Amino acid sequence: MGPVSELDMDYSMDCYFRQTWRDSRLSFKGPIKSLSLSIKMLERIWRPDTYFYNGKQSYVHTITVPNKLLRISQDGDILYSMRLTIKAKCPMELRSFPMDRQSCPLILGSYAYPSHQLIYQWQTGGSVSFEPGMTLSQFDLMGSPQRNLSFHRREGTFSLLQVNFNLQRHTGYFLIQVYVPCILIVVLSWVSFWIHREATSDRVGLGITTVLTLSTISLDSRTDLPKVKYATALDWFLLMSFFYCIATLLEFAGVHYFTKVGSGEIPIDEDEWEDVDATSQEVIGVTASDLGFTINMDSPTFRSARRRSSLICPIYNDPSAMSGSPRRLSIAPVVSSRVHTARNTMERHTQTETKVSKWTQMLYCIVGDDAYRKQRQREASQRGPGVAKHVNSVSYIDRAARILFPASFTFLNVAYWMLYFEYQQEFGWHDIPSVSH
């Protein structure tokens, strides 16, 4: 038996198809109990016009001669056997694929004789038997129930026989080829939570790579499935994996929006530094006079140095952190420890930070409020060395994602497997396909 095709919704099988009936006109007396006749005698005797209602492409084997057998007993009992290859339709319900069960029917009956002229019945005991050791590549054969029934069509009522081949699919192939790779790819996307939030290209590249890899696996897994109008269990799992990979990218978008500037990653526009008040200029001017030199606040040199300092993390302006790097010492001749002390004192008296709740910050992130973003940039750039350690700290969003993403994905996986393994589709009888002549 096999193969069973989900794409075409059919199955194939090789079988010995045996029919027996009694024709008293062919009874005889003699020392021989039964006669094996040539198949040419089939053209001279009556035989049933049996055909398969759900057959698609069936044929009799003819190598090396037609594989048929005709035997007549003394009472007129006739045994008519032939070797057939049957390809029949199998309507499949793939909502639970690949944890599904399928019941593939084989329906046979007379083409022209109604039930008052010809009645079909299964033989009592062993009417459908299988070759010992028969196996299928993707299925386990769970049983083969049979039934006798009548079918009404335009010409009258006809006697039919039906056998269902109940199959349960193996999930091992899909676990190895689809499920495990998808789980590992989703786990791989979580690595970005531990990558520095200013490594934009690294985190975005990792997220896009995982999404493209999942797309390849999804397309490959659908090649052998029909284009059904509903989502299968495999589709739901792939959609869940897609959701987590895309959510990782969106999570980094939120992290990047709330990342404080002044660390070299996000440059500050020149117009944002034009609102330096007179108080700060006086403080810096007095400090410079005490040091014995004069600073022209409007000179291009000072304005350029001031803009360059905006690209440097405030921790670099800390005298204790300056250790000889040319970039870190770029404003050292202008700003000394006394300048820091004066500016910090001034900022504590003149700068008022407004506490914004977490929900409000999230709302600003969603709507993309430019005014709030510039305010955060200005606050980050004006903070002193005492709080500079927070500029490159780990994002609270990343910290929460390190726990929420694995926990929720594990929970959904447990619910997914419990749902589809606990809910198994019951085997049943399919409706007889309508046939009219």
CA atoms within 13 A on the CB side of 303: 10
Nearest Cα neighbor of 260 from 197, 307, 345, 305 is: 197
pLDDT tens string 261-319: 544 444 445 454 444 444 445 444 444 445 454 545 555 555 544 444 444 334 334 44
- Contact status, residue 179 vs residue 188, Cβ threshold 8 Å: no
54, amino acid identity: N
Given this model, what pLDDT does residue 390 score? Answer: 46
Nearest Cα neighbor of 84 from 166, 15, 161, 143 is: 15
- 200-221 vs 180-189: helix crossing angle, rounded to 10: 170
CA atoms within 13 A on the CB side of 257: 20
Given this model, what pLDDT does residue 299 score? Answer: 54
Given this model, what pLDDT does residue 308 score? Answer: 44
pLDDT tens string 227-250: 889 999 999 999 999 999 999 999
Given this model, what pLDDT does residue 300 score? Answer: 53
Q: How far apart are CA 278 and CA 276, in angstroms?
A: 7
Per-residue pLDDT of the chain (437 residues; tens, 9 = 90+): 989 999 999 999 999 999 999 999 999 998 889 999 988 888 899 999 999 999 998 999 999 999 999 999 999 999 999 999 999 999 999 999 999 999 999 999 999 999 999 999 998 878 999 998 888 888 999 999 999 999 888 888 999 999 999 999 999 999 999 999 999 999 999 999 999 888 889 999 999 999 999 999 988 888 888 888 999 999 999 999 999 999 999 999 998 888 765 444 444 454 544 444 444 454 444 444 454 545 455 555 555 444 444 443 343 344 444 444 444 333 344 444 444 444 444 444 444 446 778 788 778 877 777 888 777 777 766 655 544 444 456 788 899 999 999 999 999 999 999 998 887 777 877 666 555 44
Per-residue tokens: 417: 């497997």
- Contact status, residue 138 vs residue 101, Cβ threshold 8 Å: no
- Contact status, residue 74 vs residue 34, Cβ threshold 8 Å: yes
- Contact status, residue 23 vs residue 80, Cβ threshold 8 Å: no
CA-angle at 332, arms to 327 and 334, nearest 5°: 130
Given this model, what pLDDT does residue 339 score? Answer: 43
Given this model, what pLDDT does residue 343 score? Answer: 47
Given this model, what pLDDT does residue 298 score? Answer: 55
**CA dist 103 to 18, 143, 167, Å?**
23, 9, 6
